[in-house]
Structure formats: structure tokens, C-alpha cells
Structure 1
Amino acid sequence: MQVPIIASARRGVRALLMLMLCTSAVGHAAAPAPTNQITLDPMARHYQLGHGLAFGDSGFRLGGYGVVGIGELDRGDAAPAPPARWQSAIEALSGFLWWQGESAWRFFSEVAVENVLTARPGEVTTARDLKPLLERFYVDYAWRDAINFRLGKFLTPIGRWNLIHAAPLVWTSSRPLITENTFPGNATGAMAYGALDSPWGDVEYSLWASPGAELLRPHDRATFKEAYGAHLTLSPHPAVRLGLSFADFELADQQDQRRKLYGVDAQWLYRRFEVSGEFAFRVNRVDLERSDERGGYLQLVVPLSERWYGITRYERFDQTGVDRDLNLYVLGLTWRYRAALAIKGEWSGARPNNVGAAQGWRASVAVLF
């Protein structure tokens, strides 16, 4: 039975109030230590939260991020059988290893595991088949600002959210629906990218192609079989970013069905306020009623105090083969202690929820290390 939206919202508000009380105490306890404090850890000289651990002067650094979450979610009309129950989980652990020397060459890699440990009422489980996911593995050659080259596995340059990637750097625990399954989040191939000056402000571009199968393909995710695309970002003002995306691709598990995707994204910053959004339209070349897919989101971030932010997001999503568009509403609070640590709480509700979108309340702690 689906949780009524009003009752779920009340629980979400209570959870957000508890989050405010807890993080206020954490903020007091986590005040930075005096700069003249002597540390007994010799590695402290080489490490700063969010910047990774340097291996001497070798050019290598080790970093990553972790996410621990708790929530009470249901899947709406698409999965009405089990009632919503709270659950807590180590949602993600991700490790970065990168190298940058004095030459034009750079290397970056990311390996992640998901849902390592999950706790529900009366039970604690571990992932039975815990397989590391290779998220990124590429080599860059920085020839000049105007043109750089990348070879390997990288984040698909579509929109804004997919490129930010790391949970500590985004404002909410949930990810907008249009960025989840409308296109694969990774591509294996080559990319040329750079930054140019223009009469309309700074211009950043990327041209990419994925000619074959994904490197170490995960079996539970959609991946490209063949794809190419482009992304363009204009900055007519220091506070404004406008993006355009295009991709033509074929999926590995749905071969001979070409798709084209057109997208726009935008961000506006004013002091500590932020308005951002994305819209994508995917054209499917298949003989199916309502085969195309479209959707987008608009998100507002409002500073409430030095470290507290209020977030609201509206999403509209028209999934392939579904009769009615989904409207999703998100209301949340985020507490940021520096850029590398975020504690988030949110409530979300969808009407009609005919695509199985997670709704209810959730909270998470995300750390970039």
C-alpha cells in the first residue's frame, strides 16, 4: 500500500528538524583546530580533506568519497506491494587515484562499490555479489587551453549533474530522474575538449566518441555499444552558465535501435543563491507508441545561514511507454562544513508515480576525502 503523501511529508519534516539539531551540535564540535596546534600524525602534512593524500613528490594522489544514508521510501504505483520501511545503508564507497606531473600528461581513475551494508528493521545484510565498478579510467594530454585530448573511460558529457558526479558536491541525496536512465553515465572512447575566448564570453566544449563496448562493463547498467556527441558551455557572465548537449547512440542491450538526445542546461549564481536546471529530449527510432523520452528539472538553493541551505526541486519526466507524465517535488536541507562534507535531508513526492521513482524521506552524510 502506498504511503499517503501528507503523512510522508510530515515524517519528512520531522526528520529535517532532527537533522538541523544534530548538525548544529556537529558544527560546534567540528570547529577547525587552531593553526598552531602540533599534530603527531606525520601524514597530516600531506593531506587535506577533499584534496586527497599525496604520495610524496611522485605526483600521485589518493582520494575518494563515501556516502551513508537512511530513509523511508516507496516506489509508488509501480511497486505498491511492500509498505515503506526505513532502511540505512553504506550507499557508496568510491576511490580515486590520479597522477599529474610537470608534463602535459595526466591520469585519473575511479573505482566504486555500492550498497556495501544495509540495515532494515530486524535485519542487517551485506551485498552478496559485491563487484567493484570502474567509473573512470583515462589518460589526458593537455596540449593547450584550447584543445586537450582524453582516452579511456570517462563520464558522459551530457548536462551538468552527470559531470559533477560525486555525492558530496551535489545538493540532494537523490538524483534527478532525467539524469539516471535516459543515457548511460559513462563512455569508453576518446574526447577532445578545451576552452575558447569569444565575443559572448568563455566557451567550453567537448567532442567525444565511443566506438565500441564499455571498458569493464557492469551488467546491471545500460551502456553504450556505439555513440558520439558534443557538449558546449557558454559563460556570457561570470554568474551564468548555459549548456547544450547532443548525442547519437546505440545501447549494448538494445542493438540496432539508434537514439538521438538533445539537451540544455543552465546555472545562475547570485552571492550564495543558485538556480540550476536541465532538460533533455531523447528520440527513439523504434515502432512503439510514446517511444520518445523527455524530462527536466529546476532546482533552487537558498542560503539560510553560514552553513545551512534550503533546497527545492521540481521535476517532470515522460518515460518511454508510460501514458502520463510524472511530476516530482523535492524539499530539502543541506548543511555544509567546508566543500568536502555535506549532511543532507529531504522529502520527495511524485504524482502520478507510475515509473517507480523513490519517494518519501531520506537523509545522508557524504564526505569527499
Structure 2
Amino acid sequence: MYLRFFSLYFVALTSSIYADSYEFGHGFNLYDQLTVGGYVSTEFESNTRSDTFTIDDVAVMAYGNIGSNFSYLGELEAIGFYHKNVTDGDEGGSQKFHIERLYGDIWISDTFNLRFGKQITPIGYWNLEPINVLRDTTSNPLYSKLLFPKFLTGMDINGYLPESSSTHYHLFGQTTHDMDDEYINIPNTHFYGVALEHELSFETSLGGSIGEFITLSSNERTRFVQGNMKYDNGSLLITTEAIASRTEYQTSQTDYTLSGYLQSVYHISNEHAVVGRYEYYDDHHLDYTDHIGVLGYSYRPIYPVSIKGEYQWHSQENENRTLFSFSVLF
């Protein structure tokens, strides 16, 4: 554990020595084809049961361009690196690093490109920002965690539709195990989907996706339909996403899940923002429904540093909680 912290300290120290090759938030530019960086995020949670401090994410990234039409990205992450229950003194964590992303991009034209390897599932908005420092709240909507695989190990064909510079498409699929089955929310060997995103204007866009996956452990098939919309005028950002899924269980029973959120972010200034979010989650199979309200504040003194706080109200009252986080992108 201490060795890894020393490694992070070494990176920070050498960044001051090799200032010409380092840009805060963008990593070390070691070669024309290689830039190395990373991020760290910490979190404090207080709920009705306990208070917990967590070093939630520690990650190392490498990316670069090789030639004019090929780029790559690799990311290793340890999640739950260290936690301490302030209430009872219990502490622990896992310093094991997992493959979060490892992919290559072949750039061919505006209408046809190929990404292969382990990558973010190209659905909606929230799932495309996995790094805490880039998001406006500490917490993630349930929509983004429980209803489709967050990553896929396979291929994504993407680009703009022919004769259109405003509609972007993705055709993606996976037929093999994840590169790291321990580090994916829904392990599977069958995941296919189509996603579209259309820019209505400079400020507004909307999109949607359809797909299906079969869980690895229980062999249950889920089909889903998803939609999203965004408005951004620079000071006000409004996003909404919703999904309806239908699962065929091993018991021959078929049930549905509905989930979505509406979030508004108002930027008081470049550094300060207030956030409000409403979430809905209804799992008919488990007979579990929750309405969630989130009110938060975000302070970003400089782009690679984020300090956030929020309070969550749940219709399941014992799940109310307060969250604070501090995150840095190196």
C-alpha cells in the first residue's frame, strides 16, 4: 500500500522536475506516442448507520497516437482502495488494480471508425464520464449502475451517418468474457446494441439506444430501450436519461425495470455550481421502488480538481445519506 502511495508521490515530484513534459490534468507526455497520467478520488459518507471515509478510486492511465489513424488508451484502477468506518473503527480496502479500459481506435473517415478492446459502453451521457473529477455529483444515478453493462469487451463501429454531420451512431457488440470479470457491474458474454445521438442545435441534443445482454452467472436475457436529452447554454446544463428493460428469468418469469433521472446544473461561476437531481427506480421483479432527490454543490478551483458535497433524500427513508468527495486528475 505504501509503495503505491510512494509511486504517486514520485509522479508528483518528477512533474516539477520535468515541467516541460507535464501538464496538470493531462499527464506526462513521455514520447510523441505516449502520455501517462491518472486520478485519485476520496469520499466521505454519513448515513443513519455509520460514517465512512474511503479512498475510492486510484487509477493510472496511458494513451497516445501512433500514426495519423490509430490511437489507444489503457487504464488500470483500484476501487475501494482504502476505507475506514469512523463509527466503529473498522478499516480495510483492496489495493488490487483491475483493467478498466484497454482499447484501440482505428480512424478511417467521418462515417466509419472502429474501436476494439475493453471500452465504455456508448450509451447516454453519464456512462461516458466514469471519472469522478469530471462529474457534477459524487454519486451515480441507479440508472447508470444496475441496468446495462457499463463496459464491453468487443467492438464498436461508430461515426456520423452518411450525408449528416449532426447524427452520430454506434454499433457495438461483445461475444467473449470481459477482460476482467471482477471489474464489471454485469459480467456477460453476449451484449449487442445500437446507439444514436442527434444534435438539434448548438445547445440541444437527444439520442437513444436499444440492446440486449445475457448475464454470465444466471444466463438471464435482458432487452432494453433507452433515451436521453441534453440542453447546455454554458451556464445551465440540463440532462435527462431513462431506460425500460425486460428480463427473462430462469424461472420462466418475465419482468420489467424502469429507471431514469433528470438533473440540472447551474454554474454560478467557472468554479462554483449547484446541482439538483431527481431519480426514479422501479424493479418489478424485486418489488423495489425508490424516488431519490439530490441537492449538491460543486467547487472546481481549477479544471483537474473537484470538491463536491450532496444530500440525498430517498423514499426508502433508511437510505438517506450525505456525501462529500475530493478528486484530482493528474
Gaps of 5+ in 1: 1-38, 74-82
Give the number of aligned pairs.
315
Partner in structure 2 of residue 282 of structure 1: 245
Pairwise CA distance, 1:98? 1.1
Task: Say yes or no: does 1:155 pair with 2:130.
Answer: no
Partner in structure 2 of residue 106 of structure 1: 71
- Counterpart of 2:40 (choices 55, 66, 73) is 66
The CA RMSD over aligned residues, in Å, is 2.2
Pairwise CA distance, 1:337? 2.2
Partner in structure 1 of residue 26 of structure 2: 51
Which amino acid counterpart does residue 69 of structure 1 have in structure 2?
Answer: E
Pairwise CA distance, 1:320? 4.2
Pairwise CA distance, 1:288? 7.0
Pairwise CA distance, 1:181? 1.2
Which amino acid counterpart does residue 124 of structure 2 have in structure 1?
Answer: G
Partner in structure 2 of residue 364 of structure 1: 325
Q: Taking structure 2 as the reference length, what is the TM-score of the superposition?
A: 0.89
- Counterpart of 1:259 (choices 219, 222, 225) is 222
Identify if the C-alpha distance between structure 1 residues 219 and 238 changes in structure 2 by more than 3 Å, giving closer, same or farther: closer
Distance of 2:190 and 2:241 partners within structure 1: 24
Equivalent runs, 1:118-133 vs 2, <5 Å: 118-121=83-86, 123=89, 125-127=91-93, 129-133=94-98
Identify if the C-alpha distance between structure 1 residues 294 and 71 changes in structure 2 by more than 3 Å, giving closer, same or farther: same
2:37 counterpart SS class: strand
Which amino acid counterpart does residue 307 of structure 2 have in structure 1?
Answer: I
Q: Which moved more, 1:97-106 or 1:329-338?
A: 97-106
The one of the two structures with greater contact order (alpha-carbon pairs below 8 A, sep at least 6) is: 1
Partner in structure 2 of residue 270 of structure 1: 233
Q: What are the superposed Cα offsets for residues 247-268 of structure 1, whole Å, 9 maximum, x if unpaired?
A: 111111121x221111001110
- Counterpart of 2:151 (choices 166, 186, 196) is 186
- Counterpart of 1:294 (choices 249, 258, 279) is 258
Q: Taking structure 1 as the reference length, what is the TM-score of the superposition?
A: 0.80
Distance of 2:61 and 2:21 partners within structure 1: 16
1:45 counterpart SS class: helix
Task: Say yes or no: does 1:351 pair with 2:325.
Answer: no
Identify if the C-alpha distance between structure 1 residues 125 and 208 changes in structure 2 by more than 3 Å, giving closer, same or farther: same
Pairwise CA distance, 1:197? 6.5
Identify if the C-alpha distance between structure 1 residues 220 and 135 changes in structure 2 by more than 3 Å, giving closer, same or farther: closer
CA contact (8 A) 1:298 1:314 kept: yes
1:254 counterpart SS class: coil
State, as a whole percentage, how many aligned pairs show the same letter. Answer: 24
Distance of 1:46 and 1:220 partners within structure 2: 34
Equivalent runs, 1:1-369 vs 2, <5 Å: 41-57=16-32, 59-73=33-47, 83-121=48-86, 123=89, 125-127=91-93, 129-196=94-161, 202-218=166-182, 221-255=185-219, 257-286=220-249, 291-323=255-287, 325-352=289-316, 358-369=319-330
Q: What are the superposed Cα offsets for residues 13-48 of structure 1, whole Å, 9 maximum, x if unpaired?
A: xxxxxxxxxxxxxxxxxxxxxxxxxx9934111111
Pairwise CA distance, 1:290? 7.4
2:149 counterpart SS class: coil
Pairwise CA distance, 1:281? 0.7
Distance of 1:270 and 1:157 partners within structure 2: 24
1:291 counterpart SS class: strand
